[in-house]
Structure 1
């Protein structure tokens, strides 16, 4: 019996190693995808985007887990973005119009900032609208401006990355199914623990792939537009007056002449008017002072004698 038990354990371990080796080969085969992006200039409305079938819809038992995808038969998945710099008559009115535009097109505001200056209010807005309404939104935003200072519209083709992600997801899900099947029938604890560890890793990778796929789907479905808004008052160029040194010199000479005139006039008034008046007033006062002092001295002298 001991011999039979050892033989069973040996066979179980060999089977476990074979399963793990098979899983590792599947994982390695599925890890070949790499995120690729191709910037594409977009100036015309793209055809409506049709997503490739999801892992749940597109995978069936017996279907090859991986293979070369024919990208020519797949609708392109484009992430569209735009940015505009506008000069508007009134910033607050422009912001209200953009909010109304977002409501009409069933989009939403991602970020909005305002900056208050003495001359007026400046703002920046980032909004997202359905991809099929992208050109309509751009046209309505342009209509708000008295001047469009800059405009940039671009698209990022993520079709190849999306298809690779879907293929890799199907590989992981097929591997997950095989691991679960073996785990349910495993009798050896050591083998079950090893498979459970591999299963946890596969589940984490599946969640990561699903998250990336969902991000690409949402990014392609909703286009992003950034708008910088400047009022007319802030858009005017700064005027710097010219420097005229001859005018400054002339003003300085005129001021000097006025100061000299004042000093000469003051001297004339002092000599001709103030000094004679002071002498005329001071002479009687001085005479009276000396007379009183002389009388006082005589009286003191008489008392002494």
Structure 2
């Protein structure tokens, strides 16, 4: 009986020791291998509309041809303009300040700004919002600040159809809300009132979502987004989507990844040395228990 107990303790100790060593050794390597190379710039993220739940008055009815043809007669097409620039400049900080000042003078604002330093080399990114009517002027001014324009990209997204569809859904939901209010007034029992109230809350939640989405689209149409990536040399700029051959840039990025790996590996070794005060005594105890159990087994045999 004692031999089984000692054997159980020995196996349990060896398993615990193995788990500790495994977690210490491979945690740092796993983080290093799975870490994604996140660029220093971030494009502004728009609000994504949440799908409407099913229920009374969901407003998902298709827009009729007559409803779709009404918008061009009353308002112009709704276009969201966006622009991206990769610029090689002499002074990153000064250029970013000029871009920010220009956007504010035109009635816009800075959405995000980031200047980072890697291996004592500066690079930066700035995203601004400018009025749609100043979009072309802003793009030309930002390009004039550069020694060289590495990449330029613009996008015009027509959201007229989506906006008309949201208007139709909102109209249907507001009609459903009115009907539910009338039903609530005629309801007699408490259970009926509570049921209608739940449906009413669901419809009102959908109405608020649609109104929020419509407001976001209206604001995006009025204010265009421009993202400018800044660097002292072309190799430090992000690779444009259409460009496929940049061996120097890939070489530099790969070398940087290798250095990051060895840096993470050195941190891992430090952790192993520090944790040695825990796993070495625990390992010695497990080994002694194992040897003791082996000796008892031999003596008994």
Over residues 248-274 of structure 1, what are the superposed CA-to-partner deviations in whole Å (9 max), with x where a residue is unaligned?
A: xxxxxxxxxxxxxxxxxxxxxxxxxxx
Q: Equivalent residue for 2:57?
A: 27
Q: What residue number does 1:200 align with?
A: 201
Helix, strand or coil at the partner of 1:172: helix
Report if aligned partners of 2:88, 2:234 keep a CA contact under 8 Å in 1: no
For 2:119 and 2:218, locate their aligned partners in 1 and report how far apart those are by CA, in whole Å.
Answer: 44
How many Å separate the matches in 2 of 1:88 and 1:206? 47
**Which structure 2 residues correspond to residues 262-273 of structure 1 after superposition, within 5 A?**
none
The answer to whether the 8 A contact 2:100-2:128 is kept is: no
**Misfit runs of 4+, over 6 Å:** none
TM-aligned CA deviation for residue 27 of structure 1: 2.0
Local SS of the residue matching 2:126: strand
Q: In structure 2, what is the equivalent of residue 90 of structure 1? A: 91
Deviations 1:222-263 (A, max 9, x none): 11111011125977x98xxxxxxxxxxxxxxxxxxxxxxxxx
Closer/same/farther in 2, CA of residues 25 and 103 from structure 1, 3 Å limit:
closer
Question: Do the aligned partners of 1:126 and 1:225 also contact (CA within 8 Å) in 2?
Answer: yes
- Check the 8 A contact 1:119/1:234 in 2, yes or no: no
Unaligned runs of 5+ in 1: 1-23, 35-64, 239-305
1:176 is aligned to 177
Using the alignment, how far apart are the partners of 2:95 and 2:166 within structure 1?
Answer: 41
- CA-to-partner distance for each residue in 1:105-147, whole Å, 9 max, x for gaps? 1211111111225564211111111111111111110110111
The answer for the alignment partner of 1:148 in structure 2 is 149
Shift of 1:177: 1.0
Cα distance change, pair 145–196 in 1 and its aligned pair in 2 (3 A): same
Q: TM-score w.r.t. structure 1 length?
A: 0.54
CA distance in 2, matches of 1:106, 1:173: 35
- Per-residue deviation at 1:185? 3.1
The answer to whether the 8 A contact 1:85-1:149 is kept is: yes
CA contact (8 A) 1:131 1:221 kept: yes
Contiguous gaps of at least 5 residues in structure 2: 1-53, 237-246, 249-301
Larger RCO (CA under 8 A, 6+ residues apart): 2
The aligned residue for residue 104 of structure 1 is 105
Given that residues 105 and 133 in structure 1 are in contact (C-alpha distance below 8 angstroms), is that contact kept between their aligned partners in structure 2? yes
TM-score in terms of structure 2 length: 0.55
Aligned in 2, Cα 1:69/1:117: closer, same or farther, shift over 3 Å? Answer: closer
In the alignment, what sits opposite 2:166?
165
2:67 is matched with which residue? 68
Evaluate the alpha carbon distance shift between residue 210 and residue 33 of structure 1 in structure 2; reply closer, same or farther with a 3 A threshold. Answer: farther
Classify the secondary structure of the residue corresponding to 1:137: helix
Tell me how far 1:170 sits from its aligned partner: 1.0
**Paired positions, count:** 184
Residue aligned with 1:89, SS? coil
> Which deviates more from structure 2 when the two are superposed, residues 182-191 or residues 136-145?
182-191
Give, in whole Å, the separation in 2 of the partners of 1:233 and 1:148.
9
Q: Secondary structure at the match of 1:220?
A: helix
Counterpart Cα distance in 2 of 1:208 and 1:67? 25
Give yes or no for contact 1:179–1:199 (8 Å, CA) kept in 2: yes
State how far apart, in whole Å, the 2-side matches of 1:158 and 1:110 are: 22
The alignment's C-alpha RMSD in Å is 2.9
Aligned pair in 2 of structure 1 residues 189, 115: CA closer, same or farther (>3 Å)? closer
1:128 is aligned to 129
Q: Please tell me whether the aligned partners of residues 56 and 203 of structure 2 are also in contact (alpha carbons under 8 angstroms).
A: no
